[in-house]
Structure 1
């Protein structure tokens, strides 16, 4: 097995100050709630594709504004950092990712950083925000040997400010039928080929197909290794897949009714990268929806 290591919207209130000469004070009015799963800068992230994720292409700025680069320091001073895993913004204080990203890390993750709103990691734009991790919650039943319940939440040291480049993702509804989702994507800064040792500098994206669990679990595919809480996505013939460094990042599908994007999976594991009949395996966000909501609303 190769492990791919390397939402709840928040209601924001605004105070409207009356600067007129009239002494009357207007009542405070609540601003409209932030809508999850929106990309203010881009309706179609593939409308002007650049040219890898394995088999993908460069994402345009603001294509996936809930994407997070989880980075660990390369020196004791914390001046240089390296991308390790991906994550998803679910609200102003929490990031959703994979538990296996923290195998053998102990408390060192407290020195890591979260980079939000980025596209090119070597040249962070002005809209990028950086946060530290002050709390990590792994699923209580996470099994590092089988990667069962491979999900974790990270609390940021202070709330993020939403912008054109930073937005919360939607999580799937309990009654979402995945068979009806035909437009799905993956994105991340992972390696762009299985034998590469370097993560991508520019955010990569690719379109993938959801693969029925029964087929994914068949003898010539994963032969029973797929659990009830897993999803498979990719291409039967291979060629496009998440890979090392994409772990913890999102599997995303467009909702047919609203056209917003929902994160339905968290990148977990797979056999090789972009191999035939070995698609990416994801933890189902729907299976862990109650767990996620309970943890971020404590």
Structure 2
């Protein structure tokens, strides 16, 4: 594609853990995932309490990577909605029932956001180009955080286990998870797709729920000889379902990040992608 898209296909495979949803799966310690970010909205007048609504990842001290649908108007996907009074919370695995992070977390106000220029299709079955950048009012401090790695020409054949992370709802219509959770899976090799598409396989009953979207699909990869780092392959999408693991057609679409690297660099003024 001009800007290509990624199809995340959720399928059943043997040899994987059973009965693990991203919301009910394994707890994740923030020490291993310090690039995680929680997007939060005020729940009361005056912004005294906040609640998580989407995930994201730290690209740089002033930039967060998330999904376009998290920041655009539902009735007009080409326009950024009013983000005044919303914040990003980083450096914590715990959000709490009202979005209360643990000690040591950082909060940063959102300045504005930039949606992928091709995020305009109304098709709810597929959401190509569902990628966005959030600019912060003030830069994050370096303490307690890390930056996610992006790879422009991602060699998927070198990816091993794939991990999906989020604070999404435990059940459709339920509460968001109070602690960061995730599950580990693998690329789904039988899925024959063009070069801009990859598939992941999930255990039976697994998948993401509302609130997980915008968060990362990652893999620990060898960026340099002997140096393994978390590399973000894609973004958890919105596919129009409260929890995609309930669907008999368990698939969803999102943007493969590599093809967006030039747009990310142009928008932020920084090359956040590894070129090799």
Instruction: Mark yes or no: TM-score above 0.5.
Output: yes
Q: Which residue of 2 aligns with 1:153?
A: 133
The question of whether the paired residues in 2 share the 8 Å contact of 1:182 and 1:209 is answered with yes
Alpha-carbon distance between aligned partners in 2 of 1:241 and 1:55, rounded to the nearest angstrom: 10
User: Partner residue of 2:161?
Assistant: 183
CA shift for structure 1 position 280? 4.6
- After TM superposition, list the pairs within 5 Å mapping 1:138-217 onto structure 2: 138-146=115-123, 147-163=127-143, 165-174=144-153, 176-193=154-171, 195-212=172-189, 214-215=191-192
Larger Rg belongs to: 1
> How many pairs does the alignment contain?
234
Structure 1 Cα separation of the partners of residues 217 and 159 of structure 2? 12
How many angstroms apart in 1 are the aligned matches of 2:168 and 2:175? 8
C-alpha deviations, 1:228-258, integer Å up to 9, x for none?
75543242x5332222101111111011452
TM-score normalized with structure 2 length: 0.76
Contact 2:72–2:115 (8 Å) recurs in 1: no
The answer (yes or no) to whether the contact 1:234–1:280 under 8 Å persists in 2 is no
CA contact under 8 A between 2:191 and 2:199: conserved in structure 1? no
The structure 2 residue matched to 1:282, chosen from 244, 250, 254, is 254
Report what 1:273 is aligned to. Answer: 244
Does 1:116 find its partner at 2:74?
Answer: no
- In structure 1, what is the Cα distance between the partners aligned to 2:59 and 2:106? 15
Offset at residue 166 of structure 1 (A)? 1.0
CA distance in 2, matches of 1:287, 1:212: 21
Match of 2:37 among 53, 68, 83: 68
Aligned to 2:227: 258
- Find the aligned partners of 1:157 and 1:213 in 2 and give their Cα distance: 45
For structure 1, the residue ranges without an aligned partner over 5 or more in a row are: 1-50, 218-226
- Tell me which of 200, 207, 215 is aligned to 1:233: 200
Q: Within 2, Cα distance between the matches of 1:101 and 1:230?
A: 22
Q: Distance in 2 between matches of 1:277 and 1:107?
A: 31
> Who is 1:98 aligned against?
67
* RMSD of Structure 2 on Structure 1 (CA): 2.4
Instruction: Give TM-score scaled by structure 1 length.
Output: 0.71
How far apart are 1:282 and its partner, in Å?
3.1
Structure 2 CA distance for aligned equivalents of residues 259 and 167 of structure 1 = 14
CA distance in 2, matches of 1:56, 1:129: 25
- Given that residues 231 and 283 in structure 1 are in contact (C-alpha distance below 8 angstroms), is that contact kept between their aligned partners in structure 2? no
How far apart in 2 are the matches of 1:162 and 1:93?
11
User: 1 or 2, which has the higher strand percentage?
Assistant: 2
Q: Work out the CA distance in 1 between the residues paired with 2:121 and 2:70.
A: 10
